[in-house]
Homo-oligomer: A and B are copies of this chain.
């Protein structure tokens, strides 16, 4: 895996990769999601101006996913999480997805390669609720089989920090960075 021709900084607007400064900013954001621009500027040893520019750039570049992601279903009363692998009549996939999207408890769905076609992440208030939801999934026209696995525990909570750190090492720094 080669590093791109090493111009540093984000010169191209559509460039996907973040440079070291962006990564450090994200790390700071993780440490204090509601921190002020001023605080980050100080923490990163950058000027307020720069941080402000980077922040808006991150947003407009789509490096930040929607806020939905930060809402804990448990707080809403959905204590259970389950994963449902779904086998479908493939030609009808689009309609099936539409049908599944009607079920609020389906909080995420991926199309998969391999033996099963779809992987759903669902949340439920309790076991009975999960049973009902499972039924709702099966009721979607085109769904041929659904296998539910209850999440017994989130053994590794969603995390991006290790990747950020790896990414930071890969893109060491911009010209102006002198901090370790």
Contact A73 B163 (CB under 8 A): yes
Contacts A105-B163, A158-B107; A65 near B71 (Cβ below 8 A): yes
Cβ contact of A112, chosen from B78, B100, B149, cutoff 8 A: B149
Contact B153 A68 (CB under 8 A): no
Cβ contact of A167, chosen from B77, B108, B129, B161, cutoff 8 A: B77
Contacts A18-B75, A112-B151, A152-B8; A69 near B158 (Cβ below 8 A): yes
Task: Report the copy number of this chain in the oligomer.
Answer: 2
**Interface of A with B (CB < 8 Å)?**
1-3, 7-10, 12-13, 15-18, 23, 26, 29-30, 33-34, 58-59, 61-79, 81, 83, 97, 100-101, 104-116, 118-121, 123, 125-126, 128-129, 147-167
Task: Report 24 cross-chain contacts, Cβ distance below 8 Å, ordered by A residue.
Answer: A1-B126, A2-B152, A7-B155, A8-B155, A9-B157, A15-B75, A16-B75, A17-B77, A18-B76, A30-B66, A58-B75, A61-B75, A62-B75, A63-B75, A64-B72, A73-B163, A104-B165, A107-B158, A107-B163, A108-B156, A108-B158, A109-B154, A112-B151, A114-B147
